[in-house]
Each structure stands twice: as C-alpha cells, then as structure tokens.
Structure 1
Amino acid sequence: MLALRLKPELEKRLTNLALKTGRTKTFYATKAIEQQLDEMEDYYLAEQSYDEWIAEGKKSYSFDEVFN
C-alpha cells in the first residue's frame, strides 16, 4: 500500500483523465509509476555499472572519441 499527496493541479489532471476515460486514478498512477520506475532502474543500474567499470581501472571514451 502506498499513499501519495499530490499537488492540487496534478490531482486535478489525474481526476479529469480518470473521469474522461472511465478508468480509476489508481490505474493511471500505477501505470505512471511503472513507466517511470523502468526508466529510473535502467538509469541507476547503468550508472552503477559505469562506476564499477571505472573503479576497476577500465577506460571510458567520450562521444567524440567514439564517433570521430
């Protein structure tokens, strides 16, 4: 169980979307969290892997080094 306190404007948008589509606010909140969590997991796991790579003394390359 998770309780959220949303800013009034965000709450209004969520309520309007739910009313217009016949879905629940919980449905849309869950979908939004799932999508954002996927992105955050990808980012932070990649960042952690990169930090480990560098800590092991391996080389990294800049965009310019790779594509020029």
Structure 2
Amino acid sequence: MLALRLEKELEERIARVAAARGSNKSTVVREAVIRYLEDQEDSVLAQRARKTRGKARTIAEVRKALGLDR
C-alpha cells in the first residue's frame, strides 16, 4: 500500500476522470502509474538498444545462438 498527498487541483482532476469513466480515483491513479512505469521501462530498453547499435546480428546468427539451426 502507498499513501501520498496530492495538490487539491490534481486530486480534482483525477476525480473528474474517474467520474467520466464510471470508475474510482484509486483505479485511475493505479492505471496511470502502470502506464508511466511501462513507458519508463520501454525508455530504458530503447536506450540500451541505441548503445548496442552496430552490434546487430543476422537472423542466421540469432538462430545459431539459440540452437535453432539443425
């Protein structure tokens, strides 16, 4: 469980979104946090991919590394 304090304006915005969706504030915040974390994780993966640029492998090399070529 996590408790946090939000500015009144932000809490009101969350409440409006929840009401428009027929949901509750906890669900709106939970889903927003999940989306944010997924975006951050994707960003980390993209940064790693950029760092390994130039180390691309052919499909044949990947298949061989995975033991799929028989």
Question: Structure 1: which 5+ residue stretches go unaligned?
Answer: 60-68
Question: Structure 2: which 5+ residue stretches go unaligned?
Answer: 56-70
Across the two proteins, how many residue pairs are aligned to each other?
A: 55
Structure (1 or 2) with the greater helix fraction: 1
Paired amino acid for 1:28: V
Quote the Cα distance in structure 2 between the aligned partners of 1:18 and 1:42.
26
Matched-pair identity in % = 36
Provide the TM-score with structure 1 as the length reference. Answer: 0.60
Paired amino acid for 1:27: T
The yes-or-no answer on 1:3 pairing with 2:3 is yes
Runs of 4+ residues over 6 Å off in structure 1 = none
Please provide the CA RMSD for this pair.
2.2
Mark the structure with the bigger radius of gyration: 2
